[in-house]
Amino acid sequence: MIVIHSYKPTWPQEFAAIKAALTKILGAQALCIDHIGSTSVPGLGAKDVIDIQLTVQVLTPNIPEKLTEAGYYHREHITCDHVPLGADATPHLWKKQFFHQPDGQRRANIHVRVEGNPNQQYPLLFRDYLRSHPNSAKSVELIKREIAKRHGDDIDAYYDIKDPVYDLIWEAALAWSKGLSKVE
């Protein structure tokens, strides 16, 4: 069941603890470890799952080996991200590796993506845009709450509706990042 919780001030500290563990596991192979998703936006309600992006030079087999050895669950069937309308749909640009937390640990989604690819840039820009635009963040929360109210037991329906809404915000975030006053 999908439940949208009010913002929890503990989310940043929970991210920091997971980041420290991931840093020990992957060392320099992790170019950057970022708190992404709705829990990374102060004041934004979200599912109570910490989303983390591990940025790497290349997706290698030793990443799943290291993470599964440490107890993380590799979701091998999740190999790419949603491609926003109008984006370059070249498959390698949207590839990723995806993991869940070890048993008994704080719920987390670990997204491993290649530096510079649009799927690596998307969550960072999305996060930064919502941090800078509190009314857009409030609208995102309202939309997620309404979708969860109507489709909380259907994860596919939830994302089928949420992804196109996020694509609208992506367009605005791209324009914002380029200093444009409107989306072209």
Residues contacting 168, CB < 8 A, separation 6+? none
Which CATH number is 10-179 given?
Answer: 3.30.460.10
The pLDDT assigned to 183 comes to: 46
Q: Do residues 28 and 44 touch, judged by C-beta distance below 8 A?
A: no
Query: Which residues neighbour 109 within 8 Å (Cβ) at sequence distance 6 or greater?
Result: 37, 49, 50, 51, 52, 98, 99, 100
Q: Quote the pLDDT of residue 67.
A: 98
**Domain extent listing, the chain:** 10-179
Model-level pTM? 0.94
At 33-48, the pLDDT tens digits run 999 999 999 999 999 9
H/E element, 64: helix 62-69
SS3 category, 162: helix
pLDDT in tens, 110-158: 999 999 999 999 999 999 999 999 999 999 999 999 999 999 999 999 9
In the block, which residue shows the tokens 């006053």? 181
